[in-house]
Structure 1
Amino acid sequence: MADVIEPKETASGSHLGAENKPVQVKWNRSVFYNATILGLCSFAAPGLWGAMNSLGAGGGQSPYLVNTGNALTFCLMVVSCWFTSGIIRYIGIKGALFVGTIGYAPYSAGLYLNNRYGVEWLVIVGAAFCGISAGIFWAAEAAIAIAYPEPRNRGRMVAYWLTWTRIGQILGGAVNLGLNADRSGAGKVSYTVYIIFIALQASGTLVALFLNRPSQVQRRNGTPVELTIFDNPWQEIKATTKTFFTRKFLFIVLWIGQGVYSEAVFFTYNALWFSVRARALGSFLSGIVAVICGNLLGLWLDVTRLDPSGSPD
């Protein structure tokens, strides 16, 4: 995996090899600017994907085809994420973010054709594209969100980035609710929803081009962003594979499982037992709750010392 290399600190808190002096930051080179670009990509890609899936069955009448597509998406996501660090070695973190946004619009296009014309094959093909690109996207954006901010601001910047993801879900839920507010029975959502989503998700690919490379980012304290992969791809794959069997990773497998459990169960339950209007309302409200809780958690992580030794950040 790509290592995030921070400058070492002395006992006095100064960075070895860096003057650690405040600098005048250009707005288009700032951490906040890059967090915003990353957030906009998250808004357009996984944010709107979440809005569609929180409807249940991707907005369709029956959950079974979409569940098959989602199963394929998540399986391929594991594989592509596994290889992402090796991919970044050749195309860089900016290129990985760009590639990671490409597969979401084809998935929405598959849902659109299935909703309007009953075409099924593009749902599966789109899910495959989405899974391959999404694994690269999640690995790349997590590295950016952690590496670009100063350590003391990481919690807030991560919360800010994830807020954009939920804004995508909120906006998508609002569109869903507005177009389906009068539909109190079971069934599928209006196909107009997907046209809006396809356009927004395609724009996320262009937004990714505005991200700064790590060497271009300017932190307020003057320290550089270090996000470099020196190993060859095969070494990266071996290091990633070893990580899967470390004690720390195995301890969080159950937490990872419960975090994505809703993709398979809750959304299917929504599709089978709730009206179109109720599903649209749930898609809208779940994003609002996630934004509030995520930002409160980010603030808490930055102001609370979780290390029992009391060592500084």
Structure 2
Amino acid sequence: MDFRWNSPLAQIIAVGFICFCCPGMFNAINSINAGGQIDSKVGQNANVALYTCFAIFGVLGGAIHNKLGPKWTILIGGSTYVLYIGSFLAFNHTKNAAFTITAGGILGVGAGMLWTAQGAIMMAYPRENDKGKFISIFWAIFNSGAVVGSIIAFIINKDIVEPRNLEDPTYIAFMVIMAIGALITLSLAPPSTVTHDNGDHIQIQKFPSWSGELVAVLKLFLDWRMIVLIPMFMSSNWFYPYQNSTVNGFYFSLRSQSFNSIFYWLAQIGGSWAIATILDHDGVNRRTRGLWGLGIITIGFVATWVGGIFFQKGYTMASAKPSADFIRDGGAGYAGPIILYIFYGLNDAAWQTYCYWLMGALSNDVTVLSRYAGFYKGIQSAGAAIAWRINALGTVPFMTELIICFAMLVASIPGALFLALRLKDHSDDEVEEKGEYEEKDGGRVEA
């Protein structure tokens, strides 16, 4: 393997550690009853603001990234995570929900920028036969952050069984880690200097103009390849409110929530690696691998969510909070629900890895893929905003919430199948036209 700092692998590992510190810690906190507060509505409404802004700036993120470059785009985005966690620390003392919700909106802007840049790097830097592997490497590092964050939360709150807010040291520790992640961004190499082991540069189109970039982004809404994937993109975060708030937040005790999250995010690492291994399998064409992958994730989520239906029959919104605890209740009342929760995490990672792999199969150009990544995160976040609002209303029955999640996933399959059947063995832009190049805006462009 090529471990030069300006190699694609080294850059993806660096972005993985940035996301380890920022989105990884966010996921750890968000999986504990949407922010670690007794009153989950604070975190739920903050998430509505977050994902609403995320939807807008996810779509616009490609244009921002293509102008500013990955370093500054990710630095600005990463900094907003620190503010968001700080708002929960402040809420512990002031009960000022408006500040937390506003911080959620600001994080939505930053997250749209960070994830667009991350997606472009992850999909464009590796060679075609390594895309699944590089996605799984990133996913493993990124989700290790959520694992570590959950361990930190568990250690600090291990003696808390009854409903209670997370302690201040938890939020402070997360803020420090997030700040470190944002600073790591300053070490990223400019795309123009990133080369494969044989000296080949990655593909970068010239930034046309702000108006030209906006037109290119808007054209994605007319691109049949993106249109057929909209249901898959929208469903890919829709289930988080149900899993994090309705299942983990409502059903389990506080210390069990953080304990559960450790295994939920560990399962994400395994889920991404498993599907990536299939998607990069040698000896069969890309179309066949795409169909195999789609078949496997379909079987996986159907089996898991059918199990979820049987579990959800055990409690309703009107039930007293079960507060199931892994120490107090032991295996009898705890083993089944935690296994289900682990499979929720595994399926999430496999689903999102497949989404990224499909997009990565359409192009090798970092500029084009930044637009795809922004479109993906924008549609994904629009779905998440709606789902978090449904969850925050507190009037939709838990079983109805589950059925909506399940139906969204099922509705995604026809579009993904339509595209998978039309995959080519090589992206249309695989062979880069030869010509003279100049450095501009942090990229290698035709002169």
Judge same fold: TM > 0.5, yes or no. yes
Cα distance in 2 for residues equivalent to 1:74 and 1:214:
28
Which residue is equivalent to 1:16? Answer: none
Cα pair 1:116 1:191 within 8 Å, conserved: no
CA offset digits 1:253-302 (Å, max 9, x no partner):
22223321233222221323321012111211101000011112222211
Conserved? CA contact 2:153–2:170, under 8 Å: yes
The answer to whether the 8 Å contact 1:187/1:275 transfers is: no
Quote the residue 2:170 is aligned against. Answer: 193
Task: State which of 244, 269, 276 in structure 2 corresponds to 1:267.
Answer: 244
Q: How does 1:12-91 map to 2 (within 5 A)?
A: 27-91=4-68
Q: 1:103 to 1:118 in 2, by over 3 A?
A: same
Change in Cα spacing, 1:272 to 1:310, as seen in structure 2 (3 Å) is closer
Q: Distance in 2 between matches of 1:274 and 1:205?
A: 32
* TM superposition shift of 1:211: 0.9
Distance 1:255 1:222, change over 3 A: same
Local SS of the residue matching 2:32: coil
Contact 2:286 2:425 in 1 (8 A): no
- 2:266 maps to 288
* 1:90 to 1:240, Cα distance in 2 relative to 1, 3 A: closer
The residue that corresponds to 1:159 in the other structure is 136
Question: Which residue of the partner structure matches residue 114 of structure 1?
Answer: 91
User: How many correspondences in the alignment?
Assistant: 290
Q: Counterpart in 1 of 2:105?
A: 128
Q: What is the TM-score when the length of structure 2 is the normalising length?
A: 0.61
| Alpha-carbon distance between aligned partners in 2 of 1:185 and 1:114, rounded to the nearest angstrom | 20
Moved more, 267-276 or 34-43: 267-276
Change (3 A) 1:85 1:155: same
Root mean square deviation, CA, Å: 2.1
Structure 1 residues 226 and 55, CA gap change in structure 2 (3 angstroms): same
Q: Percent identity?
A: 21
In structure 2, the CA distance between the partners of 1:242 and 1:103, relative to structure 1 (3 Å rule), is same
Give the superposition deviation at 1:108: 0.3
User: How far did 1:125 drift?
Assistant: 2.3
So what's the TM-score if we normalise by structure 1?
0.86
How far is 1:133 from its partner? 0.6
Deviations 1:222-262 (A, max 9, x none): 32112234321112222222212433323222222332123
State the alpha-carbon separation in 2 of the partners of residues 25 and 267 from structure 1. Answer: 38
- Contiguous gaps of at least 5 residues in structure 2: 289-421, 427-447
Whether 1:307 and 2:284 are equivalent positions in the alignment is: no
- Residue 297 of structure 1 corresponds to 275
Whether the 8 Å CA contact 2:11–2:189 is kept in 1: the answer is yes
Structure 1 residue ranges without an equivalent (≥5) = 1-23
Residue type at the aligned position of 1:59: G
In the alignment, the residues of structure 2 paired with residue 94 and residue 226 of structure 1 have an alpha-carbon distance, to the nearest angstrom, of 17
Greater RCO structure (CA 8 Å; 6+ sep): 1
